[in-house]
Amino acid sequence: MLNRRHMLRNTAAGIGALCGSSLIPELLMASPVSSTTPKRIIFFMQNQGFDPKTCIPAGMTSSGSLANVKLPEPISPLEPYKERLHIINGLHGLHTSPSHSAFFGALGGYRGSDGVPPSAPTIDYELSKVLPQTLLPHLCIGMDSIENMSTKPTIATLSASGEGQPIFMHSNPNHLYQMLYGGISSGDIRQQHEARSNVFNQIEKLAARKGQSLPAADQQRYGQYVRGFQDVNGLRDRLDSVADHLRQFAPTVDERYTKPQFETDWHDVLLDLGISALTSGITNTLTIGSGRGEIFGAWKGLGIEQQGHNLGHMEQPDNPIWIKIRQYNSRMLVRIMEALDSVPEGSGTMMDHTLIVYTSNNADKQHTNGANWPVMLLGNFDGAFKTGCFTQLDGKRPINALYATLLLAAGQNCDRFNMNDQMAKKFDAGTGPLKDVLA
């Protein structure tokens, strides 16, 4: 029998994960099967920094082809996919003041810090608005130690839909599976899904009635809270309406969900869920936070006993610990590409219309000033980006310029992203997109 009080306590995390402060825009009903070839984008953010020596081939000091060079050991799993890889070095994020992490500033391109709310939308959210609408415009998943993911199943540190409006990451795969596929499941998962659905419906009605007696100044804020439950209930109904389609993509629930031996078991199934959300058409924007945008994180499943902040104080080049972590990330990137390559779309596959952006929420290292912010791109976004190459920039363009380039490739003109003229005079030597990376 379900414990109603226990379930109510747990549903708070689900509400926060879906809508944060009730910030999800209106979810439009998009058909999972379309005659068009919609683009999609994935952001993979590793904490503790991304040292350029772990991704730039030895001897490469200027822009050039990757065809006749060997990738560094940390990203060696990407060697068979070099023709789809673009390594970019020389962007900066000085204005984000990253130190331990830039938090929301990493994807927002503005000053960020621990406990500081976002000051504007982040690029992943902005792209989710530009790309064709899906059932769930933007999905965020966060990977951490098993203790942190269990006790804090949702957290908001990387993505935002506006000033003071964080978007929560899912870190408990059981909760995420129930949200996405509870309506097509059976047994305990189906029972929990139905019970939670009934509670959400009751709370929505109760909340709507109670808000009418509030002072006018509080009614707007309370209305956002009510709309949060409406969004959750509406998403559930829309997912249920395409149940037959979703059955083709739902991952198999095994003991990694309920009895994980290591945190990497949950990392792996969270990735499976993220991939299934892409391939099924539930979403076309996925953000992955390894370390959840903070200084924590654990990889005991890789044989790494050290965890958290201490990892950031280790030199990454030639470090066996960071080689394991980066190779694990690279294998995840390969899994995403292979999954998307397996789904026909238009005259090619889903991966032909996808871009993966891999970087760190902390520039190049722990306690950095953000002077160098390496990035790897995988895929060409339907031919928009150069691939199979390395681009060395002069350090005078900020990460905002890359984000403006992404928006342009998605179909929205953008000379600057989250940077006014006053800031640009100090931190950006140019304007418009990064022409060096565009095809």
For residue 385, give Cα distances in angstroms to 148, 274, 298, 357, 430: 37, 24, 33, 12, 19
Looking at CATH, the fold of the domain delimited by 37-175+256-427 is given as Alkaline Phosphatase, subunit A (3.40.720)
More confident residue, 233 or 6: 233
CA angle in degrees (0–180, nearest 5) for 165-169-174: 140
pLDDT digits (tens, 9 = 90+) for 181-191: 887 655 565 55
What integer is the mean pLDDT of 251-263?
95
More confident residue, 219 or 87: 87
pLDDT band per the 50, 70, 90 thresholds, residue 105: very high
Query: Three-class SS of residue 149?
Result: helix
Residue 221, pLDDT score:
53
Stretch (H or E) spanning 208 = helix 187-210
Q: CA 230, CA 233: separation in Å to the nearest integer?
A: 5
For residue 394, give Cα distances in angstroms to 83, 200, 430, 437: 24, 52, 11, 13
HSE-CB for 294 with a 13 A CA cutoff: 20
What integer is the mean pLDDT of 323-327?
98
Residue 337's contacts (CB-CB under 8 Å, 6 or more residues apart) are: 81, 84, 351, 356, 378, 379
Task: Please state the domain extents for the chain.
Answer: 37-175+256-427
pLDDT digits (tens, 9 = 90+) for 48-81: 999 999 999 999 999 999 999 999 999 999 999 9
What length does the chain have?
Answer: 439
Reading the block at residue 434, the tokens are 């990064």
pLDDT band per the 50, 70, 90 thresholds, residue 111: very high
Q: In what order do the strands lie in the sheet with 139-143?
A: 64-65, 389-398, 85-92, 375-378, 354-360, 40-46, 285-290, 139-143, 165-170, 154-162
Residue 304, pLDDT score:
96
- Count of Cβ atoms closer than 10 Å to residue 258 Cβ: 10
pLDDT band per the 50, 70, 90 thresholds, residue 246: confident
> Would you list the DSSP string of 418-431?
S--HHHHHHH-SS-
**Strand pairing category for 285-290 and 139-143:** parallel
Do 110 and 120 contact (CB within 8 A), yes or no?
A: yes
DSSP class of 99: B
DSSP class of 119: S
Mean per-residue pLDDT of the chain: 85
- Count of Cβ atoms closer than 10 Å to residue 129 Cβ: 16
Residue 428, pLDDT score:
97
Among the listed ranges 33-37, 55-59, 238-242, which one has the minimum average pLDDT value? 33-37
